[in-house]
Structure 1
Amino acid sequence: MIAYVTVGADDIARAKRFYSAFLPALDYGLREGPEGLSYALPVVPGQSPVLPDFYVKPTFDGRAASAGNGSMVAFEAQSQSQVRDLHAAALAAGGSDEGPPSFRASYGPHFYVGYLRDPQGNKIALFCSNPNEPGRDG
């Protein structure tokens, strides 16, 4: 099981604007500190935390943050309309489009996804695969 994902950012305020445009709508809460941003899902009393957590932090070695080639973090939305809404919100908050929300021929008939880059260049996917919504083929 993946416990957490961390992406680097040189401008934490800019990263906060971007990620706070859509992560709260996916139930992620934000904790800020001198070490950066920590997004986590709510913990029900008496239950284990729901993983993974998502961290946005300055680099440990102090060099410029960079996006990994082939690296991507995907967040699951509840519906196709939520994918569209959150993709638009993330673009308005400083992200760049890497592929508008739609079905992709190379994925299953219910996999609906939009791709973005955060202000640092990290690739982000917002997706939904709800079988109760219309699929690619009808």
Structure 2
Amino acid sequence: MIGYVTVGVSDMDRAKNFYSELLKDMGATVTADMDRIAFIGKSMAEPMIAVCLPYDEEPNHPGNGNMVAITAGSKEAVDTLYAKAIELGATCDGEPGQRIPDVFYGAYVKDLDGNKLAFFVFG
């Protein structure tokens, strides 16, 4: 249902590198790059994350309550994505752990521009 989610960034090259490195083990690459916006994912036919310089040319601002949730597939993959994000310069916004017993395991970080990401698995 979701085609892509866009997050505003302050430095396109830095953002493309962060998300490409973070998600490369899931098969993601920059699938389209159009100056002020770039799409990162497996293909244009699957959900992607887009990074962009704001259209109004004003500084980007992470939304309060906005979050991109990336399905990891396993608890180990949640842990791996969280560690990789921290290694790439993200900040912790909730260490990996069981949030809802037997239902939801997740971890939270803020990317290099303060956008909130969740890595999760249900079950």
User: What's the CA shift for 1:11?
Assistant: 1.1
User: What's the CA shift for 1:61?
Assistant: 0.3
Which of 99, 105, 112 pairs up with 1:112?
A: 105
List structure 1 runs of 4+ shifted beyond 3 angstroms.
none
Is residue 78–residue 119 contact of structure 2 (8 Å, CA) maintained in 1?
Answer: yes
User: What's the CA shift for 1:29?
Assistant: 2.3
Larger radius of gyration: 1
Aligned mates of 1:42, 1:108 — CA distance in 2: 34
Aligned position for 1:46 = none
Q: Which runs of 5+ in 1 are unaligned?
A: 44-48, 132-138
Moved more, 89-98 or 34-43: 34-43
Aligned position for 1:88 = 83
Q: Which runs of 5+ in 2 are unaligned?
A: none
Q: Any idea what SS the aligned residue of 2:80 has?
A: helix
Corresponding position: 1:9 with 2:9: yes
User: What's the CA shift for 1:8?
Assistant: 0.6
**Higher normalized helix content (fraction of residues):** 2
CA RMSD, Structure 1 to Structure 2 (Å): 1.7
Aligned mates of 1:22, 1:128 — CA distance in 2: 17
Which of 97, 103, 125 pairs up with 2:118?
A: 125
**Higher normalized strand content (fraction of residues):** 2
Moved more, 19-28 or 89-98: 19-28
Paired-residue identity, %: 35
User: What's the CA shift for 1:40?
Assistant: 2.4
| TM-score, reference length from structure 2 | 0.88
